[in-house]
Copies of this chain bind each other. A is one copy, B any other.
C-alpha cells in the first residue's frame, strides 16, 4: 500500500453510560470492518465525575478524559462532538459545539422540546453552510433489515403505502417498585415511553414510508404514578430507597396518525408490555406488498410480494445477512447474525463518510426537529382528549 494513510477524525464524546458504551464500541470498531475515508481517533470522553470518566476512558479506549463538556468542546484537537447525555443537555452542548465549528452527532430524541430542537436545527443548518455536519442518532435506520426495507419501498415493491402499524414494546416498568430513574422524570427525559421509544418508531415509520406524519390523535397513560426514589440520583436504575416520588412521564403512549402521503397508522410505545424486552416492531402495508420487522429478531425482514401467484405467495422470512444486503458485506458469511451494537458501527460509518465527502448526513437535526414536532403534537392531542392535532409545519394533505 503506497497510498497515504487517511486523515484523522478526532472524536470527543460527552456522556459514558449505556449509550456511551455503545458509541465507544462503534467508534473503535467501524474502521476495522469498513473502509473509512477518515481514520477515527477516540480523543476524549467527558463525564462529570473525574474518577468515573477516567475509568470509562480506560475501559472504552478513549485517549483522554474531561469533566466539563465546555472544555471538551473548546479543545482544538476535537473534530466531532458526540452527545450521549440525557435529553435535557442536548441543546446546550450541540449549540456550543456547532458554534465551535465541531461536527455533531447527537443522541435521540434531539431535544426535550420543540423550541430547543428548532434552535438546534437552525444552528445545524447555518453550520452546514460552513461545512460543519450534524446528525441525530436514530440508530434503527442502520439496522440492515430496515435499510433493506427502505430500499424495497424506494424500488416500489410496496406500491402505494396504505397503512403503518408500529409498536415499541418493553416491560421494565411493570414492577411498581422499580425506582424513579431519570428516564421517569419529565425535567430530565422530556417524556417517557413516548420520547424514548416512540421517537424511534416515528423516525423509522417516516424513513421507511417516505411520508411525514401530518396529524396525530393520542392517549398517554401512567399506570404507576409514584415510585421509590433511587438511592442515588444517577444511573438507569439505581437502588430503590424508602422515599417515593411522582412519575412525571408517560408509561405508555398510543396514537393514530395520518401521513402527508395518504397513509394512516397506529403507534404504541410502552414500558408495560410484559414479556417484551425490546420489541421495536413495524409493519407497512402497501398496494403491491407488505413488510414486517421486529427488533427482537433484528436480522430478519418479513416481506410479502403481492405480484406473486396466490398459490405460492406468503410472507418471506428474509434473513438479512447476505453480502448484497446493506452493511453486510463488512461482516460474516450468510446466516451469521449481527447484533444491536452493529447499528452504531454502521452509524459511525455513514457519519464519517458524510463528513469526508462534505455531505450532510441523515437523519439531520431537521429530521430530529420534525420528530420532536410529532412528539409535541402527541402530547397536545393527549391533553385535548385525543383530538387529532396537526403536526406543526406539516403540509396539508391534498
Contacts of A204 in B (CB 8 A): none
Are the C-beta atoms of B322 and A1 separated by less than 8 Å?
no
Query: In the complex the two chains form, what is the Cα distance from A60 to B330 in whole Å?
Result: 13
Asked if A321 is an interface residue, CB under 8 A from chain B, the answer is: yes
Whether the Cβ atoms of B32 and A25 lie closer than 8 Å is yes
Beyond A312-B316, A324-B310, whether A337 also contacts B298 by CB under 8 A is: yes
Within 8 Å CB of A289, what residues of B?
274-275
Interface residues on A, range: 35 or more
Once A61-B32, A303-B312 are accepted as A-B contacts, the answer to whether A340 and B340 lie under 8 Å apart by CB is no
Query: Would you call A218 an interface residue if the criterion is a C-beta within 8 Å of the partner chain's C-beta atoms?
Result: yes
Cβ contact of A152, chosen from B1, B29, B290, B312, cutoff 8 A: B312
Instruction: Tell me, in angstroms, the Cα distance from A170 to B174 when the chains sit together.
Output: 33
In whole Å, how far is A297's beta carbon from the nearest beta carbon of chain B? 7
| B387 and A278 form a contact (CB under 8 A) | no
Taking a contact as CB atoms under 8 Å apart, the answer to whether A254 and B266 are in contact is yes
Within 8 A of B (CB), among A240-294: 252, 254-256, 258, 262, 264-266, 268, 270, 272-279, 283, 285-290
Interface code A299-316, partner B: CB below 8 Å = 1, 0 otherwise? 100011110011111111
Docked-complex contact A256 and B162, CB < 8 angstroms: no
Query: Considering the chains assembled together, what is the distance between the CA atoms of A312 and B289 in angstroms?
Result: 12
* Chain A 217-232 interface 0/1 with B at a Cβ cutoff of 8 Å (1 = within): 1110101000000000
| A256 CB contact (under 8 Å) in B1, B254, B310 | B254
Q: Which residues on the B side are within 8 Å of A148 (C-beta)? A: 311
Whole-angstrom CA separation of A22 from B288 in the bound complex: 32
Residue of B nearest to A310 (CB): B322
Q: A317: which of B60, B255, B314 is its contact (CB, 8 Å)?
A: B314
Cβ–Cβ contact B335 & A295, under 8 A: yes
Residue A108 CB within 8 A of the other chain = no
Pair A272/B162 contact, Cβ less than 8 Å? yes
Q: Are B285 and A311 in contact (CB under 8 A)?
A: no
Please tell me if the beta carbons of B274 and A306 are within 8 angstroms of each other in the complex. yes
- Do the beta carbons of B311 and A258 come within 8 Å of each other? no
Contact residues, A327-359 vs B (CB, 8 A): 331-342
Chain B's nearest CB lies how many Å from the CB of A27? Answer: 11
Cβ B319 vs Cβ A22 within 8 A: no
Is there an interface contact between B319 and A314, defined as CB atoms closer than 8 Å?
yes
Q: Which of B252, B290, B304 contacts A264 (CB 8 A)?
A: B252
**Which one of B162, B290, B339 lies within 8 Å of A342 (CB-CB)?**
B339
Of the listed residues A58, A324, A385, the one surrounded by the most CB atoms of chain B closer than 10 A to its CB is A385
User: Is there a chain B Cβ closer than 8 Å to A380's Cβ?
Assistant: no
A255 to B219, CA, bound (A): 10
| A49 on the B face (CB < 8 A) | no
Please indicate the chain B residues that have their CB under 8 angstroms from the CB of A55 in the complex. 1
A residues within 8 Å of B by Cβ? 1, 18, 22, 24-25, 28-29, 32, 51, 54-55, 58-61, 148, 151-152, 157, 162-163, 165, 167, 170-172, 174, 217-219, 221, 223, 236, 252, 254-256, 258, 262, 264-266, 268, 270, 272-279, 283, 285-290, 295-299, 303-306, 309-319, 321-322, 324-325, 331-342, 381, 384-388
Could you list 20 A-B pairs, sorted by A, with CB under 8 Å? A1-B58, A18-B333, A25-B32, A28-B28, A151-B311, A162-B223, A165-B167, A174-B306, A217-B386, A218-B256, A255-B256, A275-B304, A276-B335, A296-B299, A299-B339, A305-B312, A313-B316, A381-B386, A385-B388, A387-B387
List 7 extra interface pairs beyond A28-B32, A274-B286, A310-B324, CB under 8 A. A162-B174, A163-B273, A295-B336, A311-B318, A316-B317, A331-B339, A339-B342
